[in-house]
Structure 1
Amino acid sequence: MKTWRKIRLGDACKTNMYSYSPKEKWNFVNYLDTGNITDNKIDLIQYIDIVNEKLPSRARRKVKKDSIIYSTVRPNQHHFGIIKSQPENFLVSTGFAVIDTDSQVLDADFLYYLLTQSTIVESLHAIAEQSTSAYPSIKPSDIENLEIEIPDIATQKKIADVLFSLDKKMAQNRKINKNLLQQAQALYKDRFVELRPFNGEMPPDWHLGEVSEIIELHDSKRIPLSSRERATLAKLYPYYGATSVMDYVDRYLFDGIYLLLGEDGTVVDNNGFPILQYVEGKFWVNNHAHIITGKNGFTVEMLYLLFSLTNVQSIITGAVQPKISQTNLNKMPIVIPSKAELSDFNSVIQPIFAQIRNLRAQNNRLVVTRDTLLPRLMSGELDVSNLDL
């Protein structure tokens, strides 16, 4: 710590430097909204054909490699990340503060990890709670006015490398899980979609039915917690919204394996397929997602595969606020295979999903390790000078 020095963050970085102008006449935009990134994990980038569709007014911020994006609304929801690559014509919401560092003074990865440690997040959220806007929010100047202690650039990079190595392993595990899910989808498609030998007739013991025959809805237990209430709770169990983890709380409503399907807001992707979350363990969920388990031979894993390959655009209502109601979901027609066929297929996919859960559990342990190391590295308590990275 003797060689560390205190700086005002705004003296080593700039915020919101680049914006899109309609004069640039892009034909399309890949757009990231604040709710679609959490802890540097993106769950959805919206493709917008701006020749035929209106570009959202908030789709304006440009980013570049190593730009840090940090949601100015409710910082405690962890809607932040650092850009390492981006699709063509990429814009992010004006709800982000886009931070670009002076690389001679401040390493971008070091700053990203510094800004994500709990003490900084809680400090910024406390400022947000005092704001006079409709939602608890901060200004870019609140970030710029932070006073931080930093070592030399070489030490910054070493600290960032230690933390990045853990994040890299977690990213690899998520990539493996994505591949495993794609394999399971391919098996489902091969068995129940593309190779159904109908020839004008349903296979033996198959029938045309409705979703209500294969799902149990647990929506009556959904109880939202306000952001103000969540701010007072210890961060133990995930608090899910329609598309992702919104927060962590010290209580739970469910314990087990469930499928979450978006009810309102962002309920489908760009191709009309539903937004799904396959979740396990203890968790809380708000009232913007259906909570589903299976019946009559359908496991949660099979439901995940079925819905991930089913276009649900026809059951969506609401022009301004898209919604998938319980009634429309239950009445959606589907082909239901025989129980023997379902049982056989379930025995094939269960090992795949067991591996997915194992890798998720490994990532949860890595998160604990990283979060334990983070404040000790950022304070200089742990010396990295002799590390060979």
Structure 2
Amino acid sequence: MSKYDWDQVPFEDILADSKDGEWGIGEEAGSHTACWMIRGTDFAGINDPSTELPLRWIPDHLMERKRLQPGDVVFEMAGGTAKQSTGRSALVSHAFFESRKEHPVLCASFCRHLRLKPEYHSSFIYYLLQTLYRAGYMGVFNIQHTGVSRFQYTAFKKKTVLTIPKEPVQKKIAAILTAYDDLIEVNQRRIAALETMAEELYREWFVRLRFPGHAKVKLVKGVPEGWERGSVSCYTSYLRRGVAPVYDDNGDGLAINQKCIRGGKLNLKEARKQSRDASEDRYVRVGDVLVNSTGEGTLGRVAQVLSPINRAIVDSHVTIVRPKDEVPVHYFGMTLRGWEPHLSIMGQGSTNQTELSPSIIGRLSMLMPPQKLSERFEEIVSPIFKQSELLRLENDSLRQTRDLLLPRLISGKLRVEAMDIQFPPGMAEP
């Protein structure tokens, strides 16, 4: 079957049903049902059972008409940014509903759901929509209205024609891409489990103070005997804000900004290339703790650098907190991450320009356990964090490979008709 055997199908012809979203009310009421709601901001973690979806109460008659089913595609209608147009999509899989049995699930008011006719495989259509989005096609239908980015769905539906193979080929293409996404999800769950282990050990030893031998150690004013308390600055070799980068798409350096620090993690997708030379101590190192230091909303977010980054600096809105060589690096980083809620409210200045200065961070008091105990902790958690970082790197590689295959498979340039493909668990039927 050649690419020329694929069908040209108007977008509206693939739909069995499509309805806009709801938002309901935030508390119980008569003739209303509690429902999980999927927003555009939930798309990235939709297949992660730990992702917390908002719970809203929806009128019963609307819930029955609009509740989602396995295989539905949720389509974003509003809420894009300057760098991210509307028109993103998410596939609601069987596995998703297995972990969300407590309440019905609907899409939120800035989304709509797409339910496909049976001859169109939902995973294939989802990946086809991903290809269109990444190619910039969805941006054509993105408009600004009263300060909000909105997607012109009616125009998109009327003007879009899709090139689609017969269902057996749809399933093979979807199977290849789903296999990558399934591996990524498995790794994400392993990462979460590893980090939970490390965090639980930290809390047990250093928050609940049930460390090995604790029963024989006296507490003096709530502090175990032999432990010391000092300011953060006592335990750091470098505590400074970053510098203004020289942004340059051809530069060989990288500038880390506040968007890179979220959820206790460092994500370099939002980092930008830059060409400014900097002194050696301004380049981030493994073990550095990065703290967002400007503005409401992002102030006080914390992430630790756990793997080498070549020629990376932080911009002037981020503070580097670098532990001394003798300080237990993971203990130091986990302690500062635990302070994130407090750091977020410690800024000074006007509402629009709140600043968290290095001096404020440096004056904070930190409890430091004895060397033998901290070394034992590092011996246990270092392999955990190393394995977690390896899994993240593996996921980066899987995403890159998947994203290279995606347009070639969806366009028909990479032929799959003769392939004997084992369908992955992510495509299992109920």
Q: TM-score, normalised by structure 1?
A: 0.73
> Contact (CA 8 Å) 1:267, 1:324: kept in 2 or not?
no
CA shift for structure 1 position 154:
2.5
Q: 2:337 and 2:352 mapped to 1: Cα distance?
A: 22
- In the other structure, the counterpart of 1:377 is 409
- In the other structure, the counterpart of 1:17 is 20
Task: Give the stretch that moved more between structures: 144-153 or 130-139.
Answer: 130-139
Query: 2:347 matched to 1:334?
Result: no
Q: 1:317 and 1:246 mapped to 2: Cα distance?
A: 26
Distance 1:255 1:170, change over 3 A: farther
Residue type of the alignment partner of 2:151: I
- In the other structure, the counterpart of 1:294 is 323
- In the other structure, the counterpart of 1:141 is 154
SS of equivalent residue, structure 1 residue 122: coil
Distance 1:136 1:48, change over 3 A: closer
- In the other structure, the counterpart of 1:175 is 189
> Contact (CA 8 Å) 2:239, 2:319: kept in 1 or not?
yes
Q: Based on CA coordinates, which of the two structures has the bigger radius of gyration?
A: 2
Residue type of the alignment partner of 2:334: L
CA shift for structure 1 position 113:
1.3
**Aligned with residue 325 of structure 1, among 329, 336, 356:** 356
- In the other structure, the counterpart of 1:200 is 219
SS of equivalent residue, structure 2 residue 273: coil
- In the other structure, the counterpart of 2:52 is 45
CA shift for structure 1 position 366:
1.2
> Contact (CA 8 Å) 1:242, 1:266: kept in 2 or not?
no
Residue type of the alignment partner of 2:411: S
> Contact (CA 8 Å) 2:239, 2:321: kept in 1 or not?
yes
Q: 1:213 and 1:336 mapped to 2: Cα distance?
A: 11
Query: 2:67 matched to 1:67?
Result: no
> Contact (CA 8 Å) 1:296, 1:339: kept in 2 or not?
no
Query: 2:262 matched to 1:243?
Result: yes
Q: 1:309 and 1:114 mapped to 2: Cα distance?
A: 41
SS of equivalent residue, structure 1 residue 312: helix
> Contact (CA 8 Å) 1:63, 1:98: kept in 2 or not?
no
CA distances 1:152-172 after superposition (whole Å, capped 9, x unpaired): 222212211110101111111
Distance 1:242 1:388, change over 3 A: closer
CA distances 1:36-65 after superposition (whole Å, capped 9, x unpaired): 543867685365699xxxxxxxxxx96543
CA shift for structure 1 position 370:
0.7
- In the other structure, the counterpart of 2:175 is 161
Residue type of the alignment partner of 2:393: A
Q: 2:42 and 2:332 mapped to 1: Cα distance?
A: 24
Q: 2:331 and 2:106 mapped to 1: Cα distance?
A: 36
Distance 1:223 1:136, change over 3 A: farther
> Contact (CA 8 Å) 1:260, 1:276: kept in 2 or not?
yes
> Contact (CA 8 Å) 1:276, 1:308: kept in 2 or not?
yes
Task: Give the stretch that moved more between structures: 362-371 or 182-191.
Answer: 182-191
SS of equivalent residue, structure 1 residue 173: helix
CA distances 1:158-192 after superposition (whole Å, capped 9, x unpaired): 21111010111111111111111112122222332
CA shift for structure 1 position 300:
5.1
Task: Give the stretch that moved more between structures: 254-263 or 138-147.
Answer: 254-263
Q: 1:107 and 1:179 mapped to 2: Cα distance?
A: 33
- In the other structure, the counterpart of 2:91 is 82
CA distances 1:268-317 after superposition (whole Å, capped 9, x unpaired): 9xxxx967576643568777765544336445533443245557358626
CA RMSD across the alignment: 4.6
Identity %: 18
- In the other structure, the counterpart of 1:184 is 198
> Contact (CA 8 Å) 2:21, 2:106: kept in 1 or not?
no
Residue type of the alignment partner of 1:45: E
> Contact (CA 8 Å) 1:224, 1:287: kept in 2 or not?
no
Residue type of the alignment partner of 1:325: L
CA shift for structure 1 position 34:
3.6
CA shift for structure 1 position 6:
1.5
Q: 2:356 and 2:138 mapped to 1: Cα distance?
A: 37
Residue type of the alignment partner of 1:174: Q
CA distances 1:66-90 after superposition (whole Å, capped 9, x unpaired): 3334464149548653233264465
> Contact (CA 8 Å) 1:6, 1:147: kept in 2 or not?
yes
Distance 1:310 1:190, change over 3 A: same
Task: Give the stretch that moved more between structures: 349-358 or 286-295.
Answer: 286-295
Structure 1 portions without partners, runs of 5+: 51-60
Distance 1:35 1:119, change over 3 A: closer
CA shift for structure 1 position 138:
2.9
Q: 2:363 and 2:68 mapped to 1: Cα distance?
A: 44
Q: 2:44 and 2:137 mapped to 1: Cα distance?
A: 18
Structure 2 portions without partners, runs of 5+: 58-65, 276-282, 423-430
Residue type of the alignment partner of 1:167: D
